[in-house]
Amino acid sequence: MNKKLLFITIQILILIVAIISPKIIAENQLLELDESNGLRIFEFKTTTEISLDKDFSKPVSLNSSHSVNVTVSFKFELPQFFPKLLLGTKIGNWIIFRDQNYNTTVDIKLNLEKIPEWCNAELEKKTITIDNITTEAKTMKTKLNIKINKNAPALEKETIELSAKFESQSNWGLTPSQDIINFTIIPEYIGLINAEFDLPKNTTELILSPDKNTTLLPVNITNIGNGESIITIKIKEIQQNWNVSIDTPEIILLPGKTDKINVNITTPQIKERQTMNLTLEITSKSTSETEIDETYLQGQTLELTGLKLIKEEATEPIDLTIITLGLIVILVSLIIIVFFFKKKK
């Protein structure tokens, strides 16, 4: 007997054992029966895999929806000595599914195992049906919709965990399998700031006394963004003869916090009336140490304008010495006149 004929003979014997009546085998106590009340000789190892078509390595915008395609694949392996030619036949279906008319369809259960509290995530389908399964991977797609809440902390890395699980029925010869994918999601940094001069409402002009060299102008700055920020304050333009500076050109603010800085204003030391339109340039930058491109750390640039500084014209000081001398001269003259007037009498 040649090798080819021997191989065919072995396969025929395997088939006979695989499809022989469970009752006959049970009565002769040749092999144990499985839970399906049938003999299980072959076990088909399955592989379930899950993948996404989007990379979340960059920060995600807040309060907007993001759709991701989810691909699920499934396949199984043939046991050793199982004749491949039986795949798709009634005999093959009976061996695998204990149902010769089964249409070789399996269901894969999807589940979001972990979601950050500031994130809403939802699968369009929680069960994926894959038809005509074979030893070649078959795939099906669904969508995962993600929305980041507007109050999500800036650049805080969190993980979303998604699982795909195949659970074999009790009478099937397919082994259970699953796959889990973890991906990081990062809320974007919103570096919004608010600033205002600490002056009465609707003040547009600040009159500076020519007799006072330096004036302190308070400015309130508030972080209205979603992350800790470094706030930098600069004078945009300083006109000639003016000396204007910031006492604290850089501050760090947590979200929702306010701090006060002072603008030091030294008026021009000249007689004429002088004016200057004060403009502050205020920028924010995230303090996060997350390893991402520098552009994602940049916040808002705000210009605080609308205030005119006015130094009134200086008046000439009165020389009291000259006045005093004049009064003395007048007084002496009066005394002399009175003296001569009395002498004539």
CB neighbour list of residue 144: distance below 8 Å, 6 or more residues apart: 52, 67, 68, 70, 121, 122, 123, 124, 162
Helix axis angle, 90-97 to 3-19, nearest 10°: 60
Q: What is the pLDDT along the chain (345 residues), one digit of tens a residue?
A: 565 555 555 555 555 555 554 433 333 333 344 444 455 678 899 999 999 998 888 999 998 889 999 999 999 999 988 888 888 888 888 888 887 767 788 999 999 999 999 999 999 999 999 998 999 999 999 999 999 998 899 999 999 999 999 999 888 999 999 999 999 999 999 999 999 999 998 899 888 877 667 889 999 999 999 999 999 999 988 888 889 999 999 999 999 999 999 999 988 877 778 889 999 999 999 999 888 899 999 999 999 999 999 887 766 555 567 777 777 777 777 777 766 666 665
| pLDDT score, position 1 | 52
The two three-digit tokens of residue 166, written as one number: 């195949």
| pLDDT score, position 22 | 43
Among 114, 184, 118, 190, smallest CA distance to 148 is for 118
Measure the CA–CA gap between 332 and 344, rounded to whole angstroms.
19
Among 46, 105, 39, smallest CA distance to 78 is for 46
| pLDDT score, position 32 | 41
| pLDDT score, position 15 | 56
Measure the CA–CA gap between 304 and 321, rounded to whole angstroms.
48
| pLDDT score, position 40 | 65
Phi and psi angles of residue 170, each rounded to the nearest 5 degrees, phi first: -60, -30
pTM of the predicted structure, to 2 decimals: 0.72
Measure the CA–CA gap between 35 and 173, rounded to whole angstroms.
11
Phi and psi angles of residue 306, each rounded to the nearest 5 degrees, phi first: 90, 15
| pLDDT score, position 38 | 54
| pLDDT score, position 152 | 93
227: number of Cβ within 10 Å: 24
Let me know: does 99 contact 90? Beta carbons within 8 Å: no
Measure the CA–CA gap between 134 and 138, rounded to whole angstroms.
8
